Amino acid sequence: MLNIGCTLSSSKGYLHMGKESLKINANTFAFFTRNPRGGKAKDINPDDIAAFLKLAEENNFSQLVAHAPYTLNACSNKEETREFALNIMADDLARMEYTPNQLYNFHPGSHVGQGVEAGIELIAKQLNTVLKPDMTTTVLLETMAGKGSEIGRSFEELREIIDKVELNEKLGVCLDTCHVYDAGYDIVNNLDGVLDEFDKIIGLDRLKAIHMNDSKNPFNSHKDRHEKIGEGSIGFDAMVNIINHPRLKNLPVILETPNELDGYAQEIKMLRNAYTQD
Ligand code: FE
Ligand code: FE
Ligand code: ZN
C-alpha cells in the first residue's frame, strides 16, 4: 500500500488532520509542530489524541511525519538562537510522546560562516542534549538542497552528524526529492545509483520518510523551490519510479508541493493510480 499524505495545518488538532487526510485519500500527514517563528505550541488535548489514534488505526494510517519549525537553527553562530532551537526541540519531543512511535523531521541547520565541521558539531551537541533513552519518536535529519550554508547537502554530512550522536538509534533520515535533486543527486536518470550511494554512506535502514516535491530549478542548482508533482525539472515519471522502487516500499511519502487541499487530492490520486506494488 502506498502511504501518502500532505502537510496540513495543525491549528484544529490531530483528529481534524486525520479527517482532512481521509477526505483526500491520504493515510499519513505532516504538520508543523508550531508556527515557523517557533511561538508557543497549541496545548495537547488528550481526548483529541485518543480520537485521532482510533481513526488512524481504523484507517491504516502509517507513521506521521511532524516537522520542526524550519526557522530553527541548531548551528547558528548566535548562542541565543541555538538555545532557542534546543528549547523548542526538547518541548516538541516531549509533546511527540503523546502520539508514540512517530517521526519528527528537522532541517539540520545553517552554519552561517562557521564552517561545515563546526556546524556539524553544534547540531550533534543539540541532539545529544535532547534525545533521551526512553523516547519512542524517531528524529529525522532532512536532506537539504545546499542553499547558503545549509548543512545536510550531502549524505556524508548527514552520516557525520549521526556518527557524533550517542543515541543514534533514535535518528533517521527524510529524503526530500526536490532538495536532493537540487543538491546534485540525479534521482531522474540514476535513482538506483543514488540509493546505492545512500546505502553505502548512511544505510538505507535509516531512511524513514520521503518528502515528495518537484523542483522549480534545474539539477544541481542548490536552490530549494518546490514545484507541483510533474510540473518541475524532476517530472512525473521520476516520482512514479520512486514510489514503486522496491527499496522504498512502505515509507511515508509526504507532499510539500504548492497546493491547497484539492491540489493535494489530485496529486495523491495521480500517484495512487501509478502505484503498482501491493
Ligand atoms: Fe523540510
Ligand atoms: Fe522537505
Ligand atoms: Zn524545500
User: In this structure, what are the phi and psi dihedrals at residue 206, rounded to the nearest 5 degrees?
Assistant: -80, -15
Q: Which of 95, 211, 264, 267 is catalytic?
A: 211
For residue 42, name the pLDDT band (cuts at 50, 70, 90).
confident
* Residue 139: partners with Cβ closer than 8 Å, 6 or more residues away: 93, 103, 104, 105, 106, 127, 131, 170, 171, 172
Ligand nearest to the CA of 211: 2
Q: What is the distance in A from the centroid of ligand 3 to the CA of 72?
A: 14
Determine whether 179 is an active site residue: yes
CA distance 122 to 268: 38
What stretch of H or E contains 206? Answer: none
Q: What is the distance in A from the centroid of ligand 3 to the CA of 225?
A: 6
Asked if 67 contacts 32 with a C-beta cutoff of 8 angstroms, the reply is yes
Grid coordinates representing 78 are 548566535
For residue 165, name the pLDDT band (cuts at 50, 70, 90).
very high
pLDDT at 277: 80
Q: For the segment 125-146, what is each residue's pLDDT rounded down to a tens digit?
A: 999 999 999 999 999 999 999 9
Ramachandran assignment for 165, one of left (phi > 0), alpha (psi -120 to 50 degrees), beta (any other): beta
Q: In b/e form, how buried is each residue of 55-74, taking b as 16+ CB within 10 angstroms?
A: bbeeeebbbbbbbbbeebbb
Q: Which of 98, 231, 256, 272 is catalytic?
A: 256
DSSP state of 199: H
pLDDT at 222: 97
Q: For the segment 87-125, what is each residue's pLDDT rounded down to a tens digit?
A: 999 999 999 999 999 999 999 999 999 999 999 999 999
Q: For the segment 192-229, what is each residue's pLDDT rounded down to a tens digit?
A: 999 999 999 999 999 999 999 999 999 999 999 999 99
Q: What is the distance in A from the centroid of ligand 2 to the CA of 105?
A: 9
Its pTM stands at: 0.97
Average pLDDT of the segment spanning 261-266: 98
Name the more confident of 40 and 191. Answer: 191
CA distance 18 to 178: 26
pLDDT at 38: 74
Q: Which of 150, 179, 206, 267 is catalytic?
A: 179
